[in-house]
Amino acid sequence: MKRLSFLALLFGILFVAPIHAQQSLDAMVDRELAQLVSTYKMLHAAPELSHYEEKTSAFFATQLRALGFTVTERVGKYERANLVGYGVVAVMKNGDGPTVWVRTDLDALPVEEKTGLPYASKVKTRNEAGQDVSVMHACGHDVHITNMIGTAKMLAALKDQWHGTLVILGQPAEETVTGARAMLADGLYSRFPKPDFVLALHDSADVAAGKITFCPGYAMASSTSVDLVIRGLGGHGSKPEATKDPVVIAAQTILALQTIISRENSPLDPAVVTIGSIHGGTKRNIIPDEVVLQLTIRTYKEEVRQHILTSIERIAKGIAAAAGVPDDRAPILKVIESEGAPSLYNDPPLTERITNAIGRAIGAENVVKATPLMASEDFGRLSLDHQIPAFMFWLGAIEPSRVEASRKSGKPLPSLHSSLFEPLPEPTLRTGIKAMTTAVLELMKK
Ligand SMILES: [Zn+2]
Ligand SMILES: [Zn+2]
């Protein structure tokens, strides 16, 4: 009898308590969901471009303040002094314990929405170049904001289950990869408690709502923007012998640069060199003075990135020299630091710990390992070069039957940044809020 009751007690401690906690989280999310879906639709209909997230950040700040967070607005200093940093930092102190940061981005894209949804964006504005553009949350940052508000609600209500300092970060200008840098430049980690862990999620345009996917280790590439100015000696198109033609040198350079990935880089280190733009010349019979190439470089490892930059310069200078261009007209390589983003490295032990916990909350079959991407994000910057363990996971956002139909037909679904990108709000938010709340509780539980 005694033995039996001991076993019953043990069973209670080991199983009933977590199951009970899980049931209460599920019920809490369900209670808030209708309200959160209307918040999502409201945000979706009112997107703001990168660097101009004034109303979105004010709304986000108000929501977090109402939940008891200490909120600081307008955190962020851009290199261009005319821009306002609309970053939001919300802190909730709950005794001694780890400091965990969770980040959402706030900005939208210059895309004209074509989903035909009743809450589709009709917003038009003027961009920084003075052009009229439509605006859409085509990357789903409205999903992230709503998910963050829902997660903050859960964690504020479950304060007795965790200890430490929770910091929620609303980051502007992710799409231009300038926001995280601007917030760090404004003393993010000195004005506010420095994180022991940083977390984020991003919605996925080809994963079913109800699932999350994750990639341990390098998950997204670094992105480096480069201008390569190839200089020659211009002149009359009928008199090539009196010139050094930068158009021909540019053509040779473009082909030679392909050998960096194919012949110089280890096939075990993924990397991309793309020349996305070439501009030179004005008229058929004029040999111009210069041609400008615009490149993007993607790598996971920093040493690979450095090697590629060195190789681009060496090859460009070698080809110009071979064409007889004098040294003082050698090609110029310009790295545009303000457009760069570091790679995203998901700390493997942190990734394992959190995905196991999320598996217990939403079902292990709904937590799926994915392959890394060569796309970029500036969330990785918050890890300060891997010093702070970071983890970002992908949140399935698409109607499951559409994912299945696409898999069967081979016809791809609209991607992120598409005018037809259409997340399914309710199951996406339900899964995202459960997953992120569970992730934070795992790191901060008593
Ligand atoms: Zn995006
Ligand atoms: Zn995005």
Could you tell me the distance, in angstroms and rounded to a whole number, from the CA of residue 417 to the centre of ligand 2?
A: 8
pLDDT beyond 60 at 119: yes
The pLDDT value given to residue 12: 52
Counting other chains too, the contacts that 314-317 makes at CB distance below 8 Å and 24 or more residues apart are: 315/253, 315/256, 315/257, 315/259, 315/260, 316/228, 316/230, 316/253, 316/257
Write the pLDDT tens digit of every residue in 295-349: 999 999 999 999 999 999 999 999 999 999 999 999 999 999 989 999 999 999 9
Mean per-residue pLDDT over the chain, rounded: 95
- In the reported structure, the alpha carbon of residue 230 is separated from the centroid of ligand 2 by a whole-number distance in angstroms of 34
pLDDT at 273: 98
Of the pLDDT bands very low, low, confident and very high (cuts 50, 70, 90), residue 16 is: low
Å from CA of 19 to ligand 2 middle: 34
Contacts of 35 (CB under 8 A, 6+ apart): none
14 has a pLDDT exceeding 90: no
Q: What is the mean pLDDT of residues 26-55?
A: 98
Q: CA end-to-end span of the chain, whole Å?
A: 32
CA-only gyration radius of the chain, Å: 25
For residue 126, pLDDT beyond 50: yes
Classify strands 286-287 and 235-236 as parallel, antiparallel or unpaired: antiparallel
Average pLDDT for 422-439:
98
Beta-bridge partners for 168:
90, 102
Ion ligand 1: protein residues whose beta carbon lies under 5 Å: 139
Q: Report the candidate in 222, 223, 140 with the shortest Cα–Cα distance to residue 414.
A: 140
Residues, Cβ < 5 Å to ion ligand 2: 139
> Which amino acid is present at 314?
R
Taking the C-alpha atoms of residue 211 and residue 350, their distance in angstroms, rounded to an integer, is 19
**pLDDT over 90, % of the chain:** 93
Distance 375 CA to ligand 1 centre (A): 9
Separation of CA 262 and ligand 2 centre (Å):
30
Tokens matching residue 343:
């790679």
Q: Are 201 and 395 in contact (CB under 8 A)?
A: yes
Cα(236) to centroid of ligand 1, in Å? 45
Quick one: pLDDT at residue 1? 47
Q: What is the mean pLDDT of residues 417-424?
A: 98
Nearest to 371 by CA among 227, 191, 206, 225: 206
Whether residue 6 is predicted with pLDDT greater than 60 in this model: the reply is: no
Q: Concatenate the DSSP letters of all residues of 66-104 into one string.
A: HTT-EEEEEE---SSTTS---EEEEEEEESSS-EEEEEE
Locate 136 and state its tokens.
């859409």
Report CA(65)–ligand 2 centroid distance (Å): 25
- Ligand 2 centroid to Cα of residue 93, in Å, is 29
For residue 153, the CA-to-ligand 1 centroid distance in Å is 26
Stretch 14-35: mean pLDDT: 81
